[in-house]
Structure 1
Amino acid sequence: MATALRKPQMTAAEWEARQELAACYRVFDMMGWSEMIYNHITQKIPGEEGAFLINPFGLHFSEVCASNLVKIDIDGNKLDDSPYPVNRAGFVQHALFHRHLPDAHAIAHTHTTAGMAVSSVEGGLRNVNFYACNFANQIAYHEFEGVTVRDEEGERLLEHLGNKRVMLLRNHGILVMGRSIPEVFVKHWALQRACEIQVATASMGTPLEVPAEVVAVHQRDLHQSQVPGVQPGKADFDAMVRLVDRKDTSWRE
């Protein structure tokens, strides 16, 4: 059974961040994006410079709840009395981006089958479907260097990322960053759909490439398909959290 712990001195902002991040773990699991006890979604804690939340190493995404998330600083030191360790393979990569990118408030890294497949073929994601066109010229690529536990790989990760906030790690998987958990969720969802459809299309024959001028029109008009006046991904994320709640509300604890 997962151990839960809530400290009396926790701020309201931290508790809210914990609940939102825990909900995201449950949504990812419901979508089939979990990977045993591995992979990570992290979120900065508002008002606490250098502090962020990460999943307890050893728990499945379906076991993560608000109180058992681990609070760590940018150097990997635990800032609470959590009994759980932190996976270095997750900390090194996420801490790097949280440290150097002020707008990377939330980060998700997954090993979905479709994401790993597309990251493992020449050309990566191609403009062959609706969702892929969302990401044209917006995806960075980083060559596989083995499990991400070495600090010295960080310089190359940052260099390859540049000003983009979505990356396909070659032969490895998906990395998405955003200003909020809902934004990260909806980006990951759209990228995952793009990868799934590309894999399915490739199995049927030669994919039809969308012309660059059509991609430009698609990206220009894409905002019109969003819920007006709502932050990116918020309506989508809230809908998925409602589905999670129908099955299990323990993430709130």
Structure 2
Amino acid sequence: MTDYPKPERYSDGEWEARVSLAAAYRMVARLGLDDLIYNHISMRVPGTSDQFLINPYGLLFSEITASSLVKINTRGEVIEETEHTVNKAAFVIHAAVHKSSETAHCVLHTHSDASTAVSGQPDGLLPLSQFAMRFYNRQGFHDYEGVAIDEAEQQRIVAHLGDNPVMLMRNHGILTVGRTAGEAFMLLYYFERAAKIQLQMQAACASGVPLVIPDHDVCEKAARQFWELKGDILIPGEREWPALMRDLDRVDPGYRA
């Protein structure tokens, strides 16, 4: 693997956050869950309460590197000299979540197909698969208000997300929140898998095959098993993320630049 030394202007903590965030962008792109130059993933700058890193507007997710990420504050001010700008909707959505929670270190928003498709269904993600059980009664809903460029929408985004790790933005996309980039990414991955399965089951249902939904107590038990880390279950990303980064280093190490 090519060696990409840390620039002197960054602390060890910030550089580690930059590398992890750039990796998340590349992984989302590899799975085909990106939307050209749109969508965004942000990471709080370690040791700060009002600064976060986000993608430069105009770069594909597959182009983003650790050093190209833009540092802004929760007022939307760029606080490090750069040739790049930041998407207005990115600031509105991500600043709202970062300001509202000390543990919202990484905030991920995409328009991924299956998640967007279920965002337009009244109950969102249904407990139709084990992938989906993780999110049973743990998904927020935010009604569509147009392109998210109105800062007044921030308070509603925060209220509708609540304590949930995932929020469906109706007719728009999905937002996940993690303590790490790995957690936010894996929540997207598992939700998208569950949403694809739901759409496949619903297509079969339309052909006359009935849906089987476990009862509430079983669904809640499964959700608690995930979130209370029962058995050998760990926080999303704790096992998967190191393996995914090793794979990324083999095939696309340029994210570390």
**1:209 corresponds to which residue?**
213
CA distance in 2, matches of 1:156, 1:54: 22
**2:57 corresponds to which residue?**
57
CA distance in 2, matches of 1:31, 1:172: 19
Q: Is the partner of 2:239 in helix, strand or coil?
A: helix
- TM-score, reference length from structure 1: 0.92
Q: Is the partner of 1:125 in helix, strand or coil?
A: coil
**2:167 corresponds to which residue?**
167
2:177 maps to a residue whose letter is: M
**In the TM superposition, what whole-angstrom CA distance separates every residue of 1:107-146 from its partner, at most 9, and x where no partner exists?**
0000011011000122211111111111111001011001
Paired residues of 1:129 and 1:210 also in contact (CA < 8 A) = no
CA distance in 1, matches of 2:222, 2:67: 42
Q: Which residues of 2 match residues 70-109 of structure 1 at below 5 A?
A: 70-109=70-109
**2:3 corresponds to which residue?**
none
Q: Is the partner of 1:140 in helix, strand or coil?
A: strand
CA distance in 2, matches of 1:8, 1:81: 15
Report the Cα offset of residue 226 of structure 1: 4.2
Q: Does 1:218 align with 2:218?
A: no
Q: Which residues of 2 match residues 94-173 of structure 1 at below 5 A?
A: 94-173=94-173
CA distance in 2, matches of 1:155, 1:27: 30
Report the Cα offset of residue 162 of structure 1: 2.1
Gaps of 5+ in 1: 1-5
Paired residues of 2:143 and 2:169 also in contact (CA < 8 A) = yes
**1:251 corresponds to which residue?**
255
CA distance in 1, matches of 2:133, 2:236: 17
CA distance in 1, matches of 2:67, 2:121: 40
- TM-score, reference length from structure 2: 0.91
Identical aligned residues as a percent: 38
CA distance in 2, matches of 1:157, 1:46: 24
CA distance in 1, matches of 2:235, 2:175: 21
Report the Cα offset of residue 207 of structure 1: 2.1
Paired residues of 1:57 and 1:84 also in contact (CA < 8 A) = yes
Q: Is the partner of 2:42 in helix, strand or coil?
A: strand
Paired residues of 1:140 and 1:168 also in contact (CA < 8 A) = yes
**1:3 corresponds to which residue?**
none
Paired residues of 2:22 and 2:255 also in contact (CA < 8 A) = yes
Relative to structure 2, which stretch is displaced further, 140-149 or 179-188?
Answer: 179-188
Structure 1 residues 7 and 249, CA, compared in 2 at 3 Å: closer, same or farther?
Answer: closer
Paired residues of 2:187 and 2:236 also in contact (CA < 8 A) = no
Backbone CA RMSD of aligned residues:
1.6
CA distance in 1, matches of 2:154, 2:250: 40
**1:41 corresponds to which residue?**
41
**In the TM superposition, what whole-angstrom CA distance separates every residue of 1:12-48 from its partner, at most 9, and x where no partner exists?**
1111110010011111111111111000010001113
CA distance in 2, matches of 1:118, 1:231: 25
Paired residues of 2:49 and 2:102 also in contact (CA < 8 A) = no
Paired residues of 2:107 and 2:177 also in contact (CA < 8 A) = yes
1:170 maps to a residue whose letter is: R
CA distance in 1, matches of 2:176, 2:167: 6
CA distance in 1, matches of 2:201, 2:250: 34
Relative to structure 2, which stretch is displaced further, 51-60 or 96-105?
Answer: 96-105
CA distance in 1, matches of 2:194, 2:29: 19
1:18 maps to a residue whose letter is: R
Aligned length: 246
